[in-house]
Amino acid sequence: MLTRIDVRGLRGRALAEALPRPDEPGRAERDAVAAIVDQVRREGDRALLALTAELDGVALERLSVPDSELHDALARISEDLRQALLVAHRNIAAYHAHEMAAVPDLVAHGVRVRHLVRPVERVGCYAPGGRARYPSTVLMCAVPARVAGVEQVVLCVPPDREGRVDDATLAAAALAGVDEVYAVGGAQAIAALAYGTESVRRVDVVVGPGNRYVAEAKRQVAGLVGVPSAFAGPSEVVVVASPDTPAEFAAIDLAVQAEHGPDGLAWLVTWSERKADEVEAALELVVAESPRRDDLVSTFRSGGYACIVDGAEHAVAVSNVVAPEHLELLFDGSEALLEGVRSAGAVFCGPWSPASLGDYVAGPNHVLPTNRTARFASALRADDFRRHLHAVSAQPAAMETLGPAVETLAATEGLPAHAASIALRRSAIGASA
């Protein structure tokens, strides 16, 4: 089920070249998404309704979900689900509030520099639908936006076959304080958020995971709107198993990410061929018993690997090349390897720290970089919804302490007005002395 790769003895460039890389979005995907984005830009709501009928198989009369449905959904869901959402909401808010530490002003040489933080005004969140519902993603996107101080939070989610958004998703939206919900998904939803339509007013930042078409649409509109967390596409995991890792733990954690659907990656990395055999045997049982068997099989066939390495450090080197969305180090003492981890969306240390904990209630965000973008991108954070400005206030003394340097640099760059702006003020100080 998993394609086996033996990279023992390989390091550096040889290691990187020996490991498979994810496919770049193909021309067909790029062209399809470009056509959808252009159609929404030109036709607005008419395009959204037509594309929802064509791609989601449901004919809607309107896109906007009434506020009353959000609050009714919150009342309809079970107490267990409501409490679980509350726990997740509380921990996500607490984590993102904690990371927003104030930066003090800097005063030196007669200049005071203030660090000003301003939230963006309007954020568009995308929660996938179709194969599953993701109220947790609603919380992961909307809560840090609220913590950051965003005034307006909008949610787009694909409708079901009856044209409705399910109660769990709407309840999460109500709990997170989402202002507007639209029953539209796919690349067309991203285009609507970026360009605006008659119903959907354009936003400043778009966040949330999705399939390859959603991710490609975000790539195409980046620059028109902010798109944090890089390429948040199909799910990925690297599970590093030692000879002592319970095989059933490793197997189920491979399935955790693979059950999200096709195009993802599920890597087992170990320095024990016996453990690889045990995990594959356990994985066969997991797949056979899963109600999402087709999704598991599809992911494992296209992106499932069992990689044999020389040891724990070598396993981390492999993971750094893969740059996965989730990295699980499923053995005791794995924290000692964190220093060597360079590229991963999130790391889970020890056999009792499955990625599913981070997916729901640990607090940090589960919207993570995929498709090797963890090489330069990070998990979604409250700070992704804020802009950082600086305000400079100078006293006359600054003209003497710093002014000469400005004049020198300006002259060097051939910008006489820059130099003159300082010289004029220095002369004014001398005249008034």
Per-residue model confidence (pLDDT) at position 130: 67
Average pLDDT over residues 33-49: 95
> Is pLDDT of 433 > 80?
no
Per-residue model confidence (pLDDT) at position 229: 66
Q: What is the CA 246 to chain-centroid distance, rounded?
A: 30
Structure confidence at residue 334 as a pLDDT band (50, 70, 90): very high
User: Which residues are tagged catalytic?
Assistant: 325-326
CATH assignment, 44-229: 3.40.50.1980
- Among candidates 427, 380, 369, which has minimal Cα distance to 403? 427
Q: How far from 359 is each of 114, 118, 134, 257, CA to CA, in Å?
A: 37, 28, 10, 10
| 300 vs 30: which has the higher pLDDT | 300
**Integer Cα distance of 269 and 292 in angstroms:** 24
Average pLDDT over residues 321-335: 96
Name the percent of the chain lying above pLDDT 90.
Answer: 70
Structure confidence at residue 362 as a pLDDT band (50, 70, 90): very high
Lowest mean pLDDT among 21-35, 154-168, 182-196: 21-35
Pairing state between β 265-270 and 152-156: unpaired
> Is pLDDT of 131 > 80?
no
Contact between 215 and 84 under an 8 Å Cβ cutoff? The reply is no
Q: Which residues is 116 bridged to in the sheet?
A: 389
Per-residue model confidence (pLDDT) at position 183: 96
**Integer Cα distance of 301 and 281 in angstroms:** 15
**Integer Cα distance of 412 and 433 in angstroms:** 30
Average pLDDT over residues 364-382: 91
Q: Residues spanned by CATH 3.40.50.1980 within the chain?
A: 3-24+233-375, 44-229
Contact between 210 and 126 under an 8 Å Cβ cutoff? The reply is yes
Please state which of the four CATH numbers 3.30.930.10, 3.40.50.1980, 3.10.129.10, 3.40.50.11440 is assigned to the domain occupying 3-24+233-375: 3.40.50.1980
Structure confidence at residue 96 as a pLDDT band (50, 70, 90): confident
What is the per-residue pLDDT across 240-289, written as a single tens digit (0 to 9) for each? 999 999 999 999 999 988 887 777 899 999 999 999 999 999 999 999 99
Average pLDDT over residues 170-186: 96
